[in-house]
Amino acid sequence: MTNLVVDGVPPWDGRYDIPDWYFTNRELYRIKEVSGGIRAGELLEALDANDSAAFVAVAVVVLGRHGKQVDPDDLWDAKVGGIKIDLGEADADSPPSPGPSGNETTESVRSSGPDSEGIGAT
């Protein structure tokens, strides 16, 4: 199961299930708003590139799915690496995620920054 992991951003700290990567039109629009313009077709690439805007936007949407109405500014102020996507075991509902060679999958995704190992890290 894929999880959003928020750490060091109280009161939002925790693990939140992402049962699938099928966002609604409204959720994709919210991601575009929060991220400053990342479009649906660019989202996985932005996450793979460790784009902080993509991580913050996905976190806002996933937290919303769990009944949490988070102000995106709370997440923008998080330390780098405070928002992660844990892919856990690969399954059919997880987004495809190329590894360093482009043929491998990864176990976790971290937000951008100098301390981040990135989506391609194993």
Read off the pLDDT of residues 76-118 as tens digits, 9 standing for 90 and up. Answer: 999 989 999 998 865 555 454 433 323 333 334 444 444 444 4
pTM of the model: 0.73
Cβ neighbours for 60, distance < 8 A, ≥ 6 positions apart: 30, 31, 34, 70, 72, 75
Q: Where are the domains of the chain?
A: 2-110
Cβ neighbours for 1, distance < 8 A, ≥ 6 positions apart: 17, 18, 19, 88, 89, 91
DSSP letters for 48-59: HTT-HHHHHHHH
Four-residue CA torsion sign, 63, 47, 107, 22: positive
Instruction: Specify which residues 18 forms β-bridges with.
Output: 2
